[in-house]
């Protein structure tokens, strides 16, 4: 937990002990009562994974700006891709008596104890972006169908190669919902094509730096010269791999076809430059849907277990026009 958060928690705890001796703050009644029952503003705790990719930064910006636009008190925590930091933040949200907890879980497992503490505190949980395995411990998941994203990437590659390719795969964070499901969807499709072979697959942690490093090792391996295609679980790793391919004296997008997922602006720039062939969109702009859902929950309305985001597939051929309309 950052020193700022420790400070904030200490102040909040002190204020709770000295109730009546402090000025009413935002969301408190004149009597200094900041309990959820008396508060005038919705208070939401949001545990975000980190800032590892352009997708993540756009996701954070969408949620922060929507909270500000709606006058919601957002308590934001950046976990720097560490589950233990997310768990600490979730426990702090209970102490801070938030109305709703929003969680983007870095991995799928290991959440049951803290989610049960939150349930026992009577605070609803909304998952954004990624799921956890405990379906009974959250109200809804707002996010993409990662298996379908993997299928879409594979279908494009089959069409682009006529069903014949030597593929390397850059996987996302081990144990993360999108990494598990994008891999599942991709391999489900290429399994139907005997001449589509994945010869190497390794995690690039969803980052450019790691994507470049792993792609470099793929290219330097004995099988390196045989590689004709790359499937990257996100655009940031694909952009790092493009650097490695160029450093090896090869032409990305030509010598090695590249398909990735997210649809961030830098991916469209790479497609306009001819270095990336296809990106499967994964919409990070979840802010409006998230706060509509929070309002429904607090008003006692039912919400579906999965609020699916709508997405497209974009290729190099139309990128020069498409890039004009991108919002992230």
Measure CA 319 to chain center: 23
- Give residues 59-118 in contact with ligand GZL (rule: CB under 6 A): none
- Give residues 187-246 in contact with ligand GZL (rule: CB under 6 A): 206, 234, 236
Q: In what order do the strands lie in the sheet with 306-308?
A: 73-78, 43-48, 100-103, 125-128, 140-143, 306-308
Q: Are residues 116 and 137 in contact, defined by beta-carbon separation less than 8 angstroms?
A: yes
Judged by CB under 6 A, the residue of 45, 105, 124, 178 near ligand GZL is 178
Residue (97 or 145) nearer to ligand GZL, CB:
145
Least Å distance, CB 89 to ligand GZL, is 17
How many C-beta atoms lie closer than 10 Å to residue 296's C-beta? 14
Residue (186 or 206) nearer to ligand GZL, CB:
206
Judged by CB under 6 A, the residue of 125, 227, 238, 282 near ligand GZL is 282
Judged by CB under 6 A, the residue of 28, 44, 47, 56 near ligand GZL is 56
Residue (125 or 280) nearer to ligand GZL, CB:
280
Residues 6+ apart with CB under 8 A from 256: 227, 228, 229, 230, 245, 250
Question: For ligand GZL, how many residues bind (rule: CB under 6 A)?
Answer: 15
By CB under 6 A, residue 48 contacts ligand GZL: no
Using CB under 6 A, which of the segments 13-21, 31-39, 49-57, 290-298 binds ligand GZL? 49-57
Residue (233 or 316) nearer to ligand GZL, CB:
233
Measure CA 280 to chain center: 14
The torsion angles phi and psi of 141, rounded to 5 degrees, stand at -120, 125
Judged by CB under 6 A, the residue of 43, 108, 130, 275 near ligand GZL is 130
Least Å distance, CB 328 to ligand GZL, is 11
Least Å distance, CB 159 to ligand GZL, is 22
Judged by CB under 6 A, the residue of 46, 55, 111, 218 near ligand GZL is 55
DSSP 8-state assignment for residue 274:
T
Least Å distance, CB 200 to ligand GZL, is 20
By CB under 6 A, residue 144 contacts ligand GZL: yes
DSSP H/E element including 245: helix 235-247
Least Å distance, CB 160 to ligand GZL, is 21
Q: Record the tokens describing residue 165, joined without a space.
A: 């390719």
Using CB under 6 A, which of the segments 28-36, 53-61, 117-125, 156-164 binds ligand GZL? 53-61
Using CB under 6 A, which of the segments 47-55, 93-101, 158-166, 217-225 binds ligand GZL? 47-55
Residues 6+ apart with CB under 8 A from 305: 135, 140, 141
How many C-beta atoms lie closer than 10 Å to residue 84's C-beta? 10
- Give the closest residue to 81 by CA, choosing from 182, 213, 216, 172: 172
Least Å distance, CB 314 to ligand GZL, is 15
Residues 6+ apart with CB under 8 A from 33: 19
- Classify residue 265 as exposed, middle or buried by CB count within 10 Å of its CB (0-12, 13-18, 19+): middle
DSSP H/E element including 257: strand 257-262
By CB under 6 A, residue 186 contacts ligand GZL: no
**Which stretches of the chain bind ligand GZL, using CB under 6 A?**
52-53, 55-56, 129-130, 143-144, 178, 206, 234, 236, 261-262, 282
């Amino acid at each position: 937990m950052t020193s700022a958060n420790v400070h904030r928690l200490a102040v909040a705890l002190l204020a709770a002990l000295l109730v009546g001796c402090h000025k009413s703050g935002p969301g408190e009644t004149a009597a200094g009562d900041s309990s959820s029952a008396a508060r005038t503003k919705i208070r939401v705790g949001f545990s975000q994974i980190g800032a590892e990719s352009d997708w993540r930064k756009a996701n954070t910006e969408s949620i922060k700006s929507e909270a500000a636009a709606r006058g919601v008190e957002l308590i934001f925590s950046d976990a720097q891709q560490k589950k233990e930091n997310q768990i600490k933040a979730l426990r702090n949200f209970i102490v801070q008596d938030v109305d709703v907890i929003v969680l983007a879980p870095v991995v799928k497992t290991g959440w049951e104890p803290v989610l049960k503490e939150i349930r026992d505190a009577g605070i609803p949980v909304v998952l954004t972006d990624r799921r956890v395995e405990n379906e009974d411990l959250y109200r809804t998941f707002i996010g993409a169908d990662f298996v379908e994203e993997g299928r879409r990437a594979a279908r494009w590659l089959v069409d682009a190669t006529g069903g014949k390719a030597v593929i390397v795969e850059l996987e996302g964070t081990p144990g993360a919902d999108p990494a598990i499901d994008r891999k599942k969807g991709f391999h489900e499709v290429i399994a139907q094509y005997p001449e589509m072979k994945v010869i190497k697959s390794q995690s690039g942690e969803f980052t450019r730096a790691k994507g470049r490093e792993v792609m470099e090792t793929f290219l330097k391996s004995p099988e390196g010269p045989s590689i004709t295609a790359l499937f990257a679980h996100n655009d940031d790793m694909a952009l790092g791999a493009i650097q490695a391919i160029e450093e090896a004296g090869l032409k990305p997008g030509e010598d090695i076809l590249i398909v990735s997922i997210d649809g961030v602006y830098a991916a469209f720039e790479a497609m306009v430059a001819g270095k990336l062939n296809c990106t499967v969109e994964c919409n990070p702009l979840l802010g409006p849907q998230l706060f509509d859902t929070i309002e429904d929950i607090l008003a006692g309305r039912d919400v579906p277990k999965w609020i699916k985001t709508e997405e497209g597939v974009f290729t190099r051929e139309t990128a020069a026009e498409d890039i004009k309309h991108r919002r992230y």
